[in-house]
Structure 1
């Protein structure tokens, strides 16, 4: 891995938190992701399943974590099953985790090779009453491919039909949404790498540069700072492309006078950052562009203040909608009749701001978190309002990453990344 080794105490703490939520005499199992084929003998780059990483720090394919806190023997309470390395694997793929190295990474003493899994599991299941299956219940999830985890759950339930079944996901949704200090430091590092990439662009962008050239500058900066690359598919949208919310072609020229919407961010150690900034191709905003830009910035700043413990996500978005409505009236994009006659299910402001303002951030860009429960300290949220005006040929979105505090305003992990229009102009015209 490119990143520095993470202190294993983080994963020890994470397992302790999960175990305290388990029912008596229960066992939980977590699997690595598959390596997905492209065609012939090609594969996509491996990306670890975030849950097994969260609980163990193991960032390797074909790994299994088993937790059985009420096991009669201590060595059965936390177990890792790993792909055994060999001289052949070392030559062709590089060495895998040894048992000793796995302990250094995870803090788990009991490590077996994968062929021993079924035998060890059988012995454990004779003492267990409930099995915790790990299903993906994220509110944005759309799953069409059968995962390694899903195949295992199907096999496990068929093999042991007499056991009660419980779900790991509700526990993980709550645990993963509230970050430990070590996790906040990792997200901060991802944000710092993102800052380096963005500052690199301020001296690079000029008329007629291609969107994909900007993407190339970013990936260069990210990887040279120990990131695997983008935390998500980058959006580099010049001109009217910015009005396509998930524009990812990144294949058009950047024309003088246009704006570029940059929804780009680095990952670090599997933790995501998520940033959006706007750059004027010619190094200066027009008066109208700056007027809309500053309106979006004001909405972002006011929305940020509402990220406090006890806030409900749904009501928060209602309040942000009111602020946005006021700004759109000021910009002349809405009039009072539009607001008075609006459909409560789709308010007038949605014509120009049709997406949500915030989502959880962490190991996933759209991270775990139960949206019907109040916000808590140490949760990390994005704040990303936007105004999209196809008729005027541009759209503007601004986005930072915020940590909710016990009291007061949230802490901005992107506080050092330029966002004021005048600062961006100044840096671009040095």
Structure 2
């Protein structure tokens, strides 16, 4: 892995958090992701399943974590099953984890090779009453592919039909949404790498540059700072492309006078950052662009203050809607009649700002978190208001990542990334 070793106290703590929420005499299983094929002998780069990583730090395919806190045999209360390396694998792919190295990373003392899994599972399944299966219940999930986790769950339920079944996901949703200081430091590292990429672009952008060239500049900077690359598919949208919310073609030329919307950010150690900035291709904003930009920035600054412990998700977004409506009236994009006659289910401001303002962030860009739960200290959220104006040929979105504090305003992990008009223009014209 490119990233520095993570203190395994994080994974030890995470496992304790999970097992403390399990039913008596129950067992939980977590699988790594598959390596997905493309065609012929080609595969996609491996991405570890975030849940097994969260609980163990193991970043390798064909790995299984088993947690059985009430197991009569102490050595089987935490078990890792790993793919055994051999000379052929070592030559062609590089050695896989040894048992000793897996213990150093995870803090799990009992490590078996994968070939022993069914035998060991039979022993411990006869000793438990309930088995926790790991399903993806994120509110944005739309998975059509059968995963390694899915196949294992089918096998387990077929092999042991008399066991009660429980779900890991509700426990993980709550645990993963509140970040440990080690996690916050890793997200901060991802944000710092993102800052380096953005500053590189401020010195690179000029009329005539292509969107994909900007993508390449970001990737160069990310890779040279121990990141695997983008935390999500980058959006590099010049001109009216910014009004396509998930524009990812990145194949157009940046033209003089246009704005460039950059929704691009680095990962680090599987943790995400998530940044959006909107900058002028020619190095200077027009007066109209400034007015809209400042309106978006004001909203971002004001709504950030609402991210405090106890805040309700629905009420938060209702307040954002009020602020956005006021700014759109000031910009002449809405009038009083638009607001008076609006559909309560789709308010007038939604014509120019049609998505949410914040989401949980962490191991996943759209991270785990139960939206009906009040916000808590050490949750990490994005703040990303926007105004999209296709008729005027531009859209402006600004986004930072913030940590909710026990007392006071959230801590901005992107506080050092330029966002004010004057600073952006100064850097671009220096």
TM-score (norm 1): 1.00
1:407 equivalent in structure 2: 407
Provide the C-alpha distance between the structure 1 equivalents of 2:388 and 2:352, rounded to a whole number of angstroms. Answer: 5
1:110 equivalent in structure 2: 110
1:390 equivalent in structure 2: 390
Provide the C-alpha distance between the structure 1 equivalents of 2:226 and 2:314, rounded to a whole number of angstroms. Answer: 37
Provide the C-alpha distance between the structure 2 equivalents of 1:11 and 1:276, rounded to a whole number of angstroms. Answer: 31
1:422 equivalent in structure 2: 422
Are 1:17 and 2:17 counterparts? yes
Name the SS for the 2:154 alignment partner: helix
Name the SS for the 2:402 alignment partner: strand
Name the SS for the 1:188 alignment partner: helix
Q: CA deviation at 1:213?
A: 0.2
Are 1:246 and 2:235 counterparts? no
Q: Which runs of 5+ in 1 are unaligned?
A: none
Q: CA deviation at 1:279?
A: 1.2
Provide the C-alpha distance between the structure 2 equivalents of 1:353 and 1:230, rounded to a whole number of angstroms. Answer: 25
Provide the C-alpha distance between the structure 2 equivalents of 1:373 and 1:339, rounded to a whole number of angstroms. Answer: 30
1:82 equivalent in structure 2: 82
Name the SS for the 2:79 alignment partner: strand
Are 1:155 and 2:155 counterparts? yes
Name the SS for the 2:65 alignment partner: strand
Provide the C-alpha distance between the structure 2 equivalents of 1:341 and 1:313, rounded to a whole number of angstroms. Answer: 26
2:232 equivalent in structure 1: 232
1:170 equivalent in structure 2: 170
2:287 equivalent in structure 1: 287
Name the SS for the 1:395 alignment partner: strand
Provide the C-alpha distance between the structure 1 equivalents of 2:212 and 2:125, rounded to a whole number of angstroms. Answer: 53
Provide the C-alpha distance between the structure 2 equivalents of 1:421 and 1:392, rounded to a whole number of angstroms. Answer: 20
Are 1:29 and 2:11 counterparts? no
**Residue deviations 1:241-295 (CA, integer Å, cap 9, x gap):** 0000000000000000000000000000000000000110000000000100000
Name the SS for the 2:176 alignment partner: helix
2:346 equivalent in structure 1: 346
2:217 equivalent in structure 1: 217
1:65 equivalent in structure 2: 65
TM-score (norm 2): 1.00
1:327-366 matches, cutoff 5 A:
327-366=327-366
Provide the C-alpha distance between the structure 1 equivalents of 2:294 and 2:273, rounded to a whole number of angstroms. Answer: 23
CA RMSD of aligned residues (A): 0.3
1:313 equivalent in structure 2: 313
Q: Which runs of 5+ in 2 are unaligned?
A: none
Name the SS for the 2:192 alignment partner: helix
Name the SS for the 1:38 alignment partner: strand
Name the SS for the 2:80 alignment partner: strand
1:101 equivalent in structure 2: 101
Provide the C-alpha distance between the structure 2 equivalents of 1:360 and 1:217, rounded to a whole number of angstroms. Answer: 27
For these two proteins, the number of residue pairs brought into alignment is 430
Q: CA deviation at 1:407?
A: 1.1
Name the SS for the 1:256 alignment partner: coil
Name the SS for the 1:28 alignment partner: strand
